[in-house]
Amino acid sequence: MKPVYRLPALLVVAIWLVTTSAWATTNVSTSVLVLTPANLTSSGSAQNLSVTCMVNGSPQPPGGSITAHLYNSSGTSIASGGGSVSNGSCMFTLVVPANTSGTGFYVTASYSGFGNGSYIWSASSGRSGTFSIGKTTPVITWQTPAAITYGTALSATQLNATANTPGAFVYTPTSGAILAAGVQTLSVTFTPTDTTDYNSATKTVSLTVNQAPTTFALNQTSFTYNGNAQGPSIVPTPSGATFTTSGTLSATAPGTYTATATATGNYTGSNTLLTWTITPGSQDPGLKVLDPTP
């Protein structure tokens, strides 16, 4: 019969403790959350704030979940949410209420413990550095106005900008202004009613001002010889139009004369055959006066 060897009882207990402890070790890793909120500008509707995070532990946790809150500068929670952790990193979104802006916002988050048989990550929380939700700049819609003719006053037909939030418009030039002929610049400054969440905004458009059509006529077309220089005046329509002249607008001797008028500046148009006459009279040097004395 072969001999039977028996281990001492204390040695058997020692081996069992070593073996089971290899499977039941529960090392605790205290993790730190690093939060990085994205930049935002205020919006007239609710919007998502994206936050990336890293669970810094050693080793990093392969899973788990994040619960997060967004606070304003007064410490009031205005949004909450969360997400899942994968290999120590995560991304989640918080729904920011409409028309939220200012400074001193921050995000806090807590990480729920996760165990994988060898490690248990303890729950921990972190707080992001403060950040701002900037004001948004309103969108001004202003189509290029149709061309106008010189002499037409600016009105709501041209000064008709709109914005995507309530507010007041100030135009330059103002309504009622008469602009010179040519391509002119119109500008508007918009001040929102909600100055907490919106910036002021400006916009410009171009307006073509066409020259005003002009016609010309003579105030008188027939004169009688009187021995003195005489002639007509040119009358433009519209009155006040500027123009140059050529030809004859003053004469002494009887005859037929012509003149030309051409519009200038803010006006356009010309007349090339403005005709007028001086007819012979009793003092016409071409007539011989007979002496009635016998």
Looking at the domain 213-279, which fold is it? Answer: Immunoglobulin-like (2.60.40)
Query: Which helix (H) or strand (E) segment is 14 a member of?
Result: helix 9-24
Looking at the domain 140-210, which fold is it? Answer: Immunoglobulin-like (2.60.40)
Two tokens, residue 123? 């729950």
Query: pLDDT 10s per residue in the chain (294 long)?
Result: 555 445 444 333 333 333 333 333 345 555 566 777 777 787 778 888 888 877 766 666 677 777 888 888 888 998 888 888 777 778 888 888 888 888 888 888 877 666 655 555 555 555 666 778 888 899 999 999 999 999 999 999 999 999 999 999 999 999 999 999 999 999 999 999 999 888 999 999 999 999 999 999 999 999 999 999 999 999 999 999 999 999 999 999 999 999 999 999 999 998 878 999 999 976 555 544 444 455
CA distances from 123 to 6, 46, 79 (A): 48, 31, 21
Q: What is the pTM of this model?
A: 0.66
Pick the CATH number of 29-134 from 2.160.10.10, 2.60.40.1930, 3.30.70.60, 2.30.30.40: 2.60.40.1930
First to last CA, the chain: 200
So where are the chain's domains? 29-134, 140-210, 213-279
* Cα–Cα distance measured from residue 146 to residue 186, given in angstroms and rounded to the nearest whole number: 13
140-210 against 213-279: fold identical: yes
